[in-house]
Structures are given as structure tokens and as C-alpha cells.
């Protein structure tokens, strides 16, 4: 595997702001998702987390009562092995609200993503984030949540409209298990380099590869493919970060997270 870990480290650290958080790029403000991506990458490649106390302060003062904020804060604090603020009552209430809103056809607000674009509302993403937050607190996901996501299974995959890898990842993560049809659906997205957005499409993208490999882990499927490892290595740009696909693109912390997490799932890091 030909990945320059020193360049990757430099890429990540170049996005650290004085407030302790990490940003898409300077001089943009720090965000909770970018901060998680940075912490994950540094810990996975065995690097020290700089000014950890400052990062923790940034995380704790940035948390808000919404699914996105709680999820990203909890994920980062868990990686840093810090105590999580208990928002369990709020999380359980938001789970009920999200499911009720979907059933009634109510349109929920989106939110700012790690790439500073407005995210379209997605009840499966919200339910996934809230469920993961509960698990990080050591609590079980309520049965009504599992029953809800099962409604979105179609032809082995999951999706609000058509089944896809991203929403299949959300739903299988909530359930914690799957079946043979789920496995067949995921493997249909495999090509000679990585995993594609739709069967027989091209090119593969690093985020879809992460979703697929994560699903395969949930299913307990032992997956090995040297070509995918080599393909991910090709995605590293000269600045040390990773792009989405072989056909160009800028480096981002988000893409770099998907690349590093995929290599970890493949037991290459």
C-alpha cells in the first residue's frame, strides 16, 4: 500500500483552527464533522492528537440540541475517550418526532454539512445518527426504531425512494444485523476498483466504498480485495489528502476519512 502517511498528517493538521476545531479549509470556521474526521484519521494512523484539551472544549461548547450536533460531538468525544454529556431524553424524543413526521408527511429542516452545503432532509440519516448516539451512551435502540427502518427495505437494500448503499448503511447500522439478500444487494455494487453508486455504473466513489464495506462488516462478511486497497491509494492527492474518485477532485477531510476508514475496515491500517 503506497500511502504517504506523513503527507496525510500534514494535510489534516493544516486544517486545525485556533479554537481547537478543524475546518474544511482555512479561513473557514471549524465544524463538528470536520473535527471528527480529523480526530479519526490522526488516531487511525497512530498520530498524537494536538491540544486535545482545546479540542474537547470546542466540542462541548459547540453541542446543540439537534441530531447532527449530538452525533458528531459524541463520536469525537468517544474517540478521545471522554465522558459524554447525557442528552438521552432529548434523543429519544427526537427519534419519536422524526418517525412521526415521516409517517405524517411533514417536511423537516435540513442542516449544514461538513462541506458547507445545505443537506437535504433525510429521516433515515437522522434516525441513524440518533440511534448511534444512544448506543454511544450505552443504551439500546428502541424496538419501534428498528421496526420503522425495516419499512424501507426493497430488493435487499434500503432507501426512501430507490435502495442505495448510503441509506442501506444507515438502516443496517440501526438494526445491527442483516440477511443474505442484503449481502447480495451490496455485492452487486462491486466493480474491479471499488464500490459504485448503482450496479453496473461507473466510476466508484470513496464514500460508497466506505458504506459498502461498513455494511459488509455489520453482516459479518469477511471481505478482502487487494485491488480496492490499491485504488484507494491512487486517490491520495499531492497535498496528502484524498479525493472522491480516480477522475480528479480536491482533497477534503471527509473524503480522507472515507479512505482511511475503508482501509481500516479492510484491515490495512
Band of residue 2 on the pLDDT scale cut at 50, 70, 90: confident
pLDDT tier, 114 (very low <50, low <70, confident <90, very high otherwise): very low
Report the alpha-carbon distance of residue 193 to residue 135 in Å, rounded.
Answer: 33
For the segment 21-35, what is each residue's pLDDT rounded down to a tens digit?
A: 999 998 899 999 999
Tell me what the pLDDT averaged over the chain comes to.
Answer: 93
CA dist., res. 198 & res. 200, Å (int): 6
C-alpha closest to that of 63 among 138, 133, 119? 133
Residue 209 and residue 261 in contact, taking contact as beta carbons nearer than 8 Å? no
Q: What is the pTM of this model?
A: 0.93
Residue 118 has pLDDT above 50, yes or no: no
Beta-sheet pairing, 157-158 with 153-154: antiparallel
Q: Where are the domains of the chain?
A: 5-265
Q: Domain 5-265 adopts which CATH fold?
A: Glycosyltransferase (1.50.10)
Amino acid at each position: 500500500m503506497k500511502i504517504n502517511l506523513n503527507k496525510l498528517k500534514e494535510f489534516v493538521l493544516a486544517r486545525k483552527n485556533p479554537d481547537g476545531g478543524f475546518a474544511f479549509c482555512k479561513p473557514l470556521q471549524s465544524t463538528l464533522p470536520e473535527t471528527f474526521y480529523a480526530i479519526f484519521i490522526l488516531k487511525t494512523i497512530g498520530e498524537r492528537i494536538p491540544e486535545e484539551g482545546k479540542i474537547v472544549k470546542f466540542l462541548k461548547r459547540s453541542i446543540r440540541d439537534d441530531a447532527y450536533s449530538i452525533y458528531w460531538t459524541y463520536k469525537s468525544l468517544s474517540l478521545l475517550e471522554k465522558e459524554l454529556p447525557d442528552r438521552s431524553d432529548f434523543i429519544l424524543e427526537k427519534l419519536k418526532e422524526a418517525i412521526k413526521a415521516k409517517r405524517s408527511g411533514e417536511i423537516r429542516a435540513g442542516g449544514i454539512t461538513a462541506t458547507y452545503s445545505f443537506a437535504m432532509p433525510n429521516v433515515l440519516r437522522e434516525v441513524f445518527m440518533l440511534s448511534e448516539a444512544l448506543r454511544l451512551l450505552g443504551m439500546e435502540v428502541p424496538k419501534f426504531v428498528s421496526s420503522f427502518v425495516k419499512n424501507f427495505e426493497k430488493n435487499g437494500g434500503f432507501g426512501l425512494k430507490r435502495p442505495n448503499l448510503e441509506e442501506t448503511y444507515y438502516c443496517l447500522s440501526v438494526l445491527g444485523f442483516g440477511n443474505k439478500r442484503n449481502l447480495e444487494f451490496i455485492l452487486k455494487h462491486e466493480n474491479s476498483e471499488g464500490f459504485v453508486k448503482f450496479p453496473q455504473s461507473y466510476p466508484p466513489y470513496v464514500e460508497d466504498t466506505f458504506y459498502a464495506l461498513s455494511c459488509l462488516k455489520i453482516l459479518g462478511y469477511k471481505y478482502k480485495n487487494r485491488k480496492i486497497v490499491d485504488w484507494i491509494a491512487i486517490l491520495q492527492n499531492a497535498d496528502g489528502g484524498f479525493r472522491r474518485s480516480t477522475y480528479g477532485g480536491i482533497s477534503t477531510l471527509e473524503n480522507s476519512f472515507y479512505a482511511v476508514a475503508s482501509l481500516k475496515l479492510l484491515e490495512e491500517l
